[in-house]
Amino acid sequence: MKPQMDAAATTCGNCGLPMPKELRFCRNCGFRLGEGAAEYTETVRFQNAPSGPSANFGYAGPMTAASQGMAHKRRKRISGTAKLFMALIIFFVVAAAFTAVVKRRPSRFPGSVTVATAPRSYAGVNGFETTDGGVTFENVDTPGGPADLAGLVGGDIITTVDGQPVHSDDEMTEIMRRIPIGKTVDVIYLRN
């Protein structure tokens, strides 16, 4: 059903809704009422600007209020998504800078322990196991390592290291921890 129009009304050329004749712009879409297409195609003239065909690229038409308003460019606004994206970038840049500047401090929480392992000697075997008379291992892990150079093979029972008797895998680990890296030690072992 179309709305009824009275004599004092005009229709919007853009959206087709009836508007009172005294209005210059449509309340619905903002389209200029009662004006022709020439209203939108005129160029802007300034009072102190030179006139003539060369002054405004060959057009010497009159300047109107509508053409003056259209001469100003609309300011572009940043969308909400772009603002969010820029905020995330700034956040990550600041976080990276903060991380680079701040040095790591030890934890202040009780119960949290930071364990630092000191460099220690190694035997070059897969691990020690307690056995009768000393400690043993299954195989030599590191070719060219200390156990391999000493001629040890899997299944040998180590009884003494650097003059200290070995009875358990914990003792062997403690002895290895005390031996300086690179020191040559005597190892007494049983085979078969």
Report the SS3 class of residue 176. helix
Domains and CATH numbers, the chain: 129-190 (2.30.42.10)
- pLDDT value at position 78? 82
The one-digit pLDDT tens for each residue of the chain (192 residues) are: 455 555 567 788 778 888 787 777 787 787 777 655 544 444 455 555 555 555 545 444 555 555 555 555 566 788 889 999 999 999 999 998 888 777 666 556 666 666 666 566 777 888 889 998 899 998 888 788 888 888 888 899 999 998 999 999 899 888 888 888 888 888 999 987
- pLDDT value at position 181? 83
Rounded to the nearest 10°, the torsion over CA 145, 150, 155, 156 is -140
Say what the pTM is: 0.39
Report the SS3 class of residue 101. helix
The beta-strand segments (E) located in the chain are 9-11, 18-20, 129-131, 134-136, 157-161, 164-165, 187-190
